[in-house]
Amino acid sequence: MELFFNPFDNLVCILRISFTVWFTLLLVFIIVPAIFGVSFGIRRLYMKTLLKIFEWATLRIERGAKEKNHHLYKPYSNAIIAKEPTSLEEEIKEIRRSGSNRDLDSASEFEMSDIFYFARRGVESIMDDEVTKRFSAEELESWNLLTRSNNNFHYISLRLTVLWGLGLLIRYGFLLPLRVTLAFTGVGLLVFLTSVVGLLPNGKIKNFLSKKVHLMCYRICVRALTAIITYHDSENKPKNGGICVANHTSPIDVIILASDGCYAMVGQIHGGLMGVIQRSMVKACPHVWFERSEVKDRHLVAKRLSDHVEDKSKLPILIFPEGTCINNTSVMMFKKGSFEIGATVYPVAIKYDPRFGDAFWNSSKFGMVNYLLRMMSSWAIVCSVWYLPPMSREEGEDAVQFANRVKAAIARQGGLVDLLWDGGLKRGKVKDTFKEEQQKLYSKMLVGTQEDRSRS
129 contacts 33 by C-beta, under 8 angstroms: no
The percentage of the chain sitting over the pLDDT mark of 70, rounded to a whole number, equals: 67
Distance (Å, whole) CA 57 – CA 49:
13
Mean pLDDT, rounded, for 218-243: 90
More confident residue, 101 or 361: 361
Q: What's the sign of the alpha-carbon dihedral 201, 207, 212, 215?
A: positive
Region at 162 (left for phi over 0; alpha for psi -120 to 50; beta for the rest): alpha
pLDDT at residue 363 is higher than 50: yes
The residues, ordered by sequence, that sit 6+ positions from 226 with a Cβ below 8 Å of its Cβ are 43, 46, 175, 179, 379, 380, 381
Q: Which CATH number fits domain 158-427: 3.40.50, 2.60.20, 3.40.1130, 3.30.420?
A: 3.40.1130
More confident residue, 21 or 6: 21
pLDDT of residue 425: 59
pLDDT of residue 323: 83
Mean pLDDT, rounded, for 200-215: 88
pLDDT tens-digit profile of 329-348? 888 888 888 888 878 899 99
pTM score: 0.74
Mean pLDDT, rounded, for 188-212: 89
Mean pLDDT, rounded, for 416-440: 69
CA nearest 151: which of 271, 71, 207?
A: 71
pLDDT tens-digit profile of 304-320? 888 888 888 888 999 99
pLDDT tens-digit profile of 115-152? 666 666 666 555 555 555 555 665 566 667 775 445 54
Distance (Å, whole) CA 407 – CA 356:
27
pLDDT of residue 104: 47
pLDDT of residue 81: 37
More confident residue, 367 or 405: 405
Q: What is the DSSP letter of 335?
A: P
For 58, the 3-state DSSP assignment is helix
pLDDT at residue 303 is higher than 50: yes
Distance (Å, whole) CA 313 – CA 302:
19
Highest mean pLDDT among 152-161, 197-206, 263-272, 433-442: 197-206
pLDDT of residue 328: 85
Average pLDDT, the chain: 77
pLDDT tens-digit profile of 58-110? 777 777 666 666 555 455 444 433 344 556 566 666 666 665 545 444 444 55
Mean pLDDT, rounded, for 241-268: 89
Distance (Å, whole) CA 254 – CA 305:
18
Q: What share of the chain is helix, strand, coil (3-state, %, to 5)?
A: 55, 10, 35
Show me where the domains of the chain are located: 158-427
pLDDT of residue 138: 59
When pLDDT is cut at 50, 70 and 90, the band that residue 410 belongs to is very high
pLDDT of residue 82: 39
Q: Quickly list DSSP for 130-183.
A: TTGGGGSPPP-SS--S-GGG-TT-S---HHHHHHHHHHHHHIIIIIHHHHHHHH
More confident residue, 86 or 48: 48
The residues, ordered by sequence, that sit 6+ positions from 82 with a Cβ below 8 Å of its Cβ are none
pLDDT tens-digit profile of 2-20? 444 466 667 777 777 766 7
pLDDT of residue 7: 66
Distance (Å, whole) CA 121 – CA 87:
12
pLDDT of residue 434: 64
